[in-house]
Structure 1
Amino acid sequence: MGDQAELDQCPESVKEALENGDDALIAEKVKEYLEKQEQVPLNIAVTGESGSGKSSFVNAFRGVDNKDENAAATGCVETTTEVKSYNHPKYPNVTLWDLPGIGTTKFRADEYLEHVEFKKFDFFIIISADRFRENDAKLAQEIQKMEKKFYFVRTKIDHNMQDEERSQRDFNEENTLDRIRKNCTEGLEKLHIPSPKVFLISNFEPHQYDFERLCHTLEEELPQHQQHVLLLALPNISQEICNKKRKILKAKIKYCALMSAVGAAVPVPGTSVAVDGGITLKFVRKCQDVFHVDGVKLLHSLIKEPVESGKKMTVDLILRVLSSSVVFTSLIVAEEGTRFIPIFGIPIAMALSSIATYTALTFFLDKFTEAAQKANMKAVGLGTQV
C-alpha cells in the first residue's frame, strides 16, 4: 500500500488513517470499508404472465435449482399472486422479487406499479415465453415514466430451437434466433416501445443464447457501486464473468494485506501468523461463494490428499496448503525473526507479513478462478482445458 497511486485510490477514511499512522484506526477503517461493500443492496423485479418462466428465471439468476427448498415455486398455473422476495443464497443484500403478472391483477399498469411498491426496485425484468403483449408494453411505459430501467426477456428459447430444428429442412440456429429477436422487437415497437432491449434465454441453459449478454447489459447500466454486487452474485456462465469476478476480488487483496501488516505490528511471536490465518480463511470462503467451487475438495487436491466426508474449511488446511510453498514459508519465518530486531524489526515484519498475505490470497484466488473456469468449460461442452 506504499505506492502513491494505490494510496490515492483508497477510500478517504482509510487514507486518513494511513496518513496518521494509527494502526488500530487503520484496521477499523479497512474493516468498515470491506463490510460496507458487502452490504450494498440490489433489488431486481421480475414480472410476467403465468407460464412465462419468471419463477424459473428467479432461480436461474440466483444459481438455485427449481427443486431446491429455497427456490421460487414454478408451474404452468400462476403461482405468484403477491410480491415474493427471494434472497441470493450467498448474498442476502441481493434480492430478486417475483411479481404477479400484470394480467392476473385487477390493476392498471400505473396502479400495478404502486401496488408492488416500484420505488424499491433498481430495475425490472419483463418476461414472456412467446410474444410480448399490450400489458407488457403498458407496464414498460409506466416504468419509463418512473425513470426506472426495464429489460424484455424471452424465455424457453431452447424449446423453440428444438421445434424449429424438427420442422425446418435447412435449420440454422443463428438465423432462427435473429428472426425471433426481430419479431419480438418489431412487436414491441408496434406497441410504442422504441428500441426495446430484448434478450432470448433458456432458464435451464444459461450458458447459451443471450443470458450473458443480459448480464453484461445490466452491469453496464447499473451505478458503479452496484456493478460489483451484481457480478459477484451471478452464476459462472462464462469465462468473462469468471475473470471479472477475479478482478473484483483481486482489488480487495491489498486491503487484506494491509490488515495483515497491522497485525504484524504487535510484538508478540505468532500474532501476525494467527491474524493472517483468519484473514486468509475469510478470503478463501469468499472465493468459494463467488466461484461456486467446493473449496475443501479443491484444497485437498492441491496437497494430493483424499477428502473425508464432513471435512470443513479450516485455517489448518489452508496453512498446510501454503506450507508446500517455499516462498510463503520463507516469508513467515523471516517475519517472525525480524520483528525483534531493534528499531527496524517491526516495520520489516509488517512489510513481510503484507507480502506473505498478498501472495497467499493471490495464490488461492488463482486456484479458485481456474477451477471455476474449468467447470464452466465442462458445462458448455468444451472440455476442461483453460
Structure 2
Amino acid sequence: MGQLFSDTSKNEDRGDLESSFTAYFRNTKKESKIITQETIDSIELHLTKGNIQGANSIIRDVLKNIDNIPINVAVTGEFGVGKSSLINALMGVGPEDEGAAEVGVVQTTMRRTAYKHPKIQTLTLWDLPGIGTVNFPPKDYLEKVKFQEYDFFIIVSATRFKSLELDLAKAIRFMKKNYYFVRTKVDNDLENEKQCNPRTFDREKAMQKIRSICVNIFNQNNMDAPQIFLISNSNLSDYDFPVLMDTLVKDLPAQKRHNLMLFLANITEAAIERKRNSVQQTIWLEACKAGLLATVPVVGILRDDVEKLKEKLNHYRVLFGVDDASLEAIAKDSQVPVEELKKMIKSPYLLENEGETLGEMFFKYMEKFASATGGPVATGLYFRKTYYLQYLFLDTVTEDAKVLLRQI
C-alpha cells in the first residue's frame, strides 16, 4: 500500500504534511503517477507555506480533470486484420455484447466509427478505415480521419505491414504523435507452422521468425524498426498484449494515465495491481482534499457515510470486474455457476451487515494497516474512517479480481 504513515502525531505540523505528501509520490513510480511532477511541486509549495486551502484547491482541480479528461485512441488497418476484435479486447467486451465493435462487417472500414468504453465514458476507441482505401487516399488520409483528435494510433496488420502503413507511421511521427504497430492473429500463424512442421516446431523460434519478417519490412523501407507487438485477440494474456498495455500507459501524459489504467482488462495480476495503484492515488488525494488535518472521529460511522461507502464499493467492483453483471458474464463464458464464483470472492458480502460489523471491520483493517506500515499515524495526518475503509474495499476487490483470474 505504500508508506503513508509514520509515528508523528502533530496534527498542526505543516512541514510534516509536506513530507508525507512528498514521500507518497516519491514512492510512486514515475510511469504510474496520475498527476504531473509540476502539480506535485505546486502542492508541496503550498504545504511548505502552510497554505492548506491552496493545496486543497489544486487537488480538487486535479481530481475533477482526471475524471473528465478525454482519451481518444485510433485503430487503423485493412479490413480483415482484426481491428474490431482488438477494439473489443481493449474494451473488455465480447463481439455480441452491447456497444461492441462489429466483427467482419465491411461497412465499418468505409468510415471512422467511435466506440465508447462501457465503464470509462471518457475513453473512446476509433475504428479508422485503412489508408489507401477509395474514400481515404494517402494524400488526404490524416485530414479525413481528423488526425489531431487522437492521443495515439495503433496500426494493425495480420500479415505484413504495407508501404502505405509505413508512410502513415512516418507522418504520425512527424506530427509528434505516438503510434504502435500490432501484428494480430499470431496464434493462427503458430498453429499453421506447427501443422507444417509438427516434429521440429519451436514456438519461440516461430515467434522470432514473425518478428524478423516485420523488421525486414521496415529495413527495406529505410525505417528503423519500432517495437512490434505480436498478439492474439482470442488469447489476451499470451503473447505481447500485456506488454502493449504497459507501453500505452507509460507513454501517456500523467493526467490521462489514470483512466487508461482503469480500462485495462484483468488479463494479468500485474494489470490488476496497476489498476489498484491508480485508484489508490485518487483515494489518497480525495482524503487530502476532504481535510488534511482531520482526525479519526471517535463516534461511529454516520448513515450518510455508510451510503457513500456502499456507492464506493459498488464502483470499485465495477472497475475491477467483480460486480454482479460481470460475474454473470464470467459465469456464462466459463460455464461456472454464478453462485460458485461468489463463493470464491469477498467483496459482494462486505457490507451485508452494517453498524457494529462495519466498525469492527474498520478497526481490524487499522490493525492490519498499522502492522504493514509501522504505525497508524502519518506525519500529522489522520485519515477519516471512510477513507481507511475505501482502502479496505480497494484491497478486497483487487484480491477478488486476482482470485477469479487464477480460477477461471
TM above 0.5, yes or no, is yes
Q: Distance in 2 between matches of 1:14 and 1:274?
A: 34
Look up the match of 2:274.
244
Q: How many residue pairs were aligned?
A: 348
Q: Secondary structure at the match of 1:50?
A: coil
Give the direction of change, closer, same or farther, for the CA distance of 1:180–1:262 in structure 2 (3 Å limit). Answer: closer
Look up the match of 1:221.
251
Offset of 1:253 from its aligned partner? 2.4
Q: Distance in 2 between matches of 1:192 and 1:318?
A: 66
Unmatched runs of 5 consecutive residues or more in structure 1 = 299-303, 332-349, 380-386
Provide, for residues 81-137 of structure 1, a one-character-per-residue CA deviation record: whole Å limited to 9, x for no partner: 111111111111111110011132344324101100100111111111111112211
Q: Is the 8 A contact 1:137 1:192 kept in 2?
A: no
Q: Secondary structure at the match of 1:170?
A: coil
Q: Is the 8 A contact 1:200 1:209 kept in 2?
A: yes
Alignment of 1:80-159 (within 5 A): 80-159=109-188
Q: Is the 8 A contact 1:49 1:128 kept in 2?
A: yes
Q: Distance in 1 between matches of 2:396 and 2:114?
A: 34
Unmatched runs of 5 consecutive residues or more in structure 2 = 5-15, 26-38, 328-338, 368-379
Offset of 1:231 from its aligned partner? 1.3
Look up the match of 2:19.
5
Look up the match of 2:35.
none
Give the direction of change, closer, same or farther, for the CA distance of 1:42–1:330 in structure 2 (3 Å limit). Answer: closer
Q: Is the 8 A contact 1:199 1:214 kept in 2?
A: yes
Residue 192 (1) aligns with residue 222 (2): yes
Instruction: Give the counterpart letter for 1:35 in structure 2.
Output: K
Look up the match of 1:371.
400
Q: Distance in 2 between matches of 1:362 and 1:294?
A: 18
Q: TM-score, normalised by structure 1?
A: 0.77
Give the direction of change, closer, same or farther, for the CA distance of 1:213–1:101 in structure 2 (3 Å limit). Answer: same
Q: Is the 8 A contact 1:189 1:196 kept in 2?
A: no
Could you tell which deviates more after superposition, 184-193 or 274-283?
274-283
Give the direction of change, closer, same or farther, for the CA distance of 1:243–1:315 in structure 2 (3 Å limit). Answer: closer
Alignment of 1:312-327 (within 5 A): 317=352, 319=354, 322-325=358-361, 327=363
Bigger relative contact order, structure 1 or 2, given CA contacts below 8 A and separation 6+?
2
Offset of 1:261 from its aligned partner? 5.2
Instruction: Give the counterpart letter for 1:136 in structure 2.
Output: E
Give the direction of change, closer, same or farther, for the CA distance of 1:145–1:329 in structure 2 (3 Å limit). Answer: closer
Q: Secondary structure at the match of 1:104?
A: coil
Q: Distance in 2 between matches of 1:319 and 1:26?
A: 35
Of 161, 164, 170 in structure 1, the residue corresponding to residue 190 of structure 2 is 161
Give the direction of change, closer, same or farther, for the CA distance of 1:186–1:26 in structure 2 (3 Å limit). Answer: closer
Offset of 1:31 from its aligned partner? 4.8
Give the direction of change, closer, same or farther, for the CA distance of 1:132–1:82 in structure 2 (3 Å limit). Answer: same
Offset of 1:233 from its aligned partner? 1.1
Offset of 1:327 from its aligned partner? 1.5
Q: Secondary structure at the match of 1:45?
A: strand
Offset of 1:236 from its aligned partner? 1.1
Look up the match of 1:208.
238
Instruction: Give the counterpart letter for 2:18 in structure 1.
Output: Q
Q: Distance in 2 between matches of 1:216 and 1:318?
A: 39
Alignment of 1:235-274 (within 5 A): 235-258=265-288, 273-274=302-303
Give the direction of change, closer, same or farther, for the CA distance of 1:364–1:206 in structure 2 (3 Å limit). Answer: same
Q: Distance in 1 between matches of 2:325 and 2:127?
A: 34
Look up the match of 2:333.
none
Q: Is the 8 A contact 2:151 2:178 kept in 1?
A: yes
Q: Secondary structure at the match of 2:266?
A: coil
Provide, for residues 221-258 of structure 1, a one-character-per-residue CA deviation record: whole Å limited to 9, x for no partner: 22222222221111111111111111112222223434
* Paired-residue identity, %: 33
Q: TM-score, normalised by structure 2?
A: 0.73
Give the direction of change, closer, same or farther, for the CA distance of 1:134–1:59 in structure 2 (3 Å limit). Answer: same
Q: Is the 8 A contact 2:169 2:179 kept in 1?
A: yes
Q: Is the 8 A contact 2:264 2:275 kept in 1?
A: no
Give the direction of change, closer, same or farther, for the CA distance of 1:193–1:290 in structure 2 (3 Å limit). Answer: farther
Look up the match of 1:345.
none
Offset of 1:15 from its aligned partner? 8.0
